[in-house]
Amino acid sequence: MNAVSTAPTSAMAVANWFLKRASKDEAFKTLDQLKLYKLVFFAHAWHLGNGQGPLFDEDVEAWPHGPVVRDLYIQFKDAGRGPITSLGSRFAIRDGKFASQTPVYAGELEPFLESVWMSYKRHSGIQLSNATHAPGEPWTIVSEKVDLSCKPTIPNELIEQVYRAKVEGSRQH
């Protein structure tokens, strides 16, 4: 990615925020991959839908079980279907050497991420995956046009269009 980032955070930082938030919730101490990936997707989607632009710069891809950010899968795939037991890290080159950093976002996004958590925390990964497969959802629109075996990108413009319509629809009620 050569372009300068305009997004306020990274997908890994959002994932780590949800992992830390779940660990503080008595009813939901851990997250599995499926639930984590969908929480990150919904945060990104609602950020776009509320006219705030992309939450992060990484692409969201249409995988068979719903939207996934590839970096997150690479980081957390070893958890399998079990709980994710550690925060994700990102490798950066510092002084000519690889250095691991653990991005966790805190700041002006905190109330937004908390609202996403409160809206979706009671749903299982399967339930959230099913929600991303509903008619008219960005994943569904892409899956109807393209073979998912190539894990195509779900364009931010499509995510924004679908979720902006939801925001506008909720304002009318």
Query: pLDDT (tens digit, 9 = 90+) per residue, 124-154?
Result: 999 999 999 999 999 999 999 999 999 999 9
Domain ranges in the chain?
Answer: 11-171
Beta-carbon contacts of 83 under 8 Å, excluding residues fewer than 6 positions away, are 29, 30, 31, 32
Q: What is the pLDDT of residue 27?
A: 84
Is 61:67 a contact under the CB 8 Å cutoff? yes
Q: What is the pLDDT of residue 95?
A: 65
Burial 117-132 (b: 16+ CB within 10 A, else e): beebbebebeebbebb
